[in-house]
Structure 1
């Protein structure tokens, strides 16, 4: 995990350089998002600990948006178009990374899994723009 100022989203694959690009092309979990607010909530559930975003193993950290409300929606970040496909549930590695209770602390606060529908560049600070006219029916 390494923080970047910008990256490329590649349609049907994920983020340039991410290990998922070659493992799961076409999957519903090409990119994962988590919010700063969820990270703070997880820390609260773990007794007020400060949680570093890289500990949670998500691709993108966003803020000021209810991620759960984006499920099944399409949205743009920078030039790329995404579809939020599912909630991103924690894995057993969270107990190792966050300590006892890490898995439970993330339940309901793990973020979203997304597909990349259109390639494009994402930059630090880009806003999430909902694209309701492009949202597929569920």
Structure 2
């Protein structure tokens, strides 16, 4: 981690998954399972476009007033790997967590109240981490029994985009700016 002249910390990370879901798939009761994708629909992206105060273009929470401060969810890949290990599983499908931006190399769950930016080669995109993304009962149905409880305290962070920009899969740099 490098510290620049303003005291901000730069850290190399990797963006491993980008998800923009135009529709809710976890509706009804978890026991019924997730709704299927529409024919030809794919939620996984090579890149996403973000708009300040609105979220991810094409995502179900884009521009929704109730989700403005929580329109983008960051999640650490390592958190799900730890959960899998604790449950004696080799692998859990990270896309089933329904988190928008899955990264490696960043303690996402420690970011509450932090302003930060992520640059994957198209310029930095600013965010503020507002609150935890608490797991729900769907995790036991869609990932594996016990995941709901095991993910408590490490389900990621709900964030608000502060600037417009583009994020792509692959290497990136995160800059931790300040705690609110």
- Fold shared by both chains (TM-score > 0.5): yes
- Residue 128 (str. 1) matches residue 174 (str. 2): yes
Shift of 1:49: 3.3
**1:44, CA displacement in angstroms?**
1.4
Cα distance in 1 for partners of 2:93, 2:65 equals 26
TM norm structure 1: 0.87
SS in 1 for 2:62: helix
Where do 5+ consecutive residues of structure 1 fail to align?
none
- Runs of 4+ in structure 1 deviating by more than 4 angstroms, as ranges, are none
- More helix per residue: 1 or 2? 1
Q: Say how many residue pairs are matched.
A: 134
CA separation in 1, counterparts of 2:104 and 2:68? 25
Kept in 2, the 8 Å contact 1:12–1:25? The answer is no
Please state which structure has a larger fraction of its residues in strand: 2
**Partner in structure 1 of residue 73 of structure 2:** 32
Query: Looking at CA atoms only, which structure, 1 or 2, has the larger radius of gyration?
Result: 2
Residue equivalent to 1:98: 143
The answer to whether the 8 A contact 1:24-1:30 is kept is no
| TM-score, length basis structure 2 | 0.68
2:55 is matched with 14
CA contact (8 A) 2:127 2:162 kept: yes
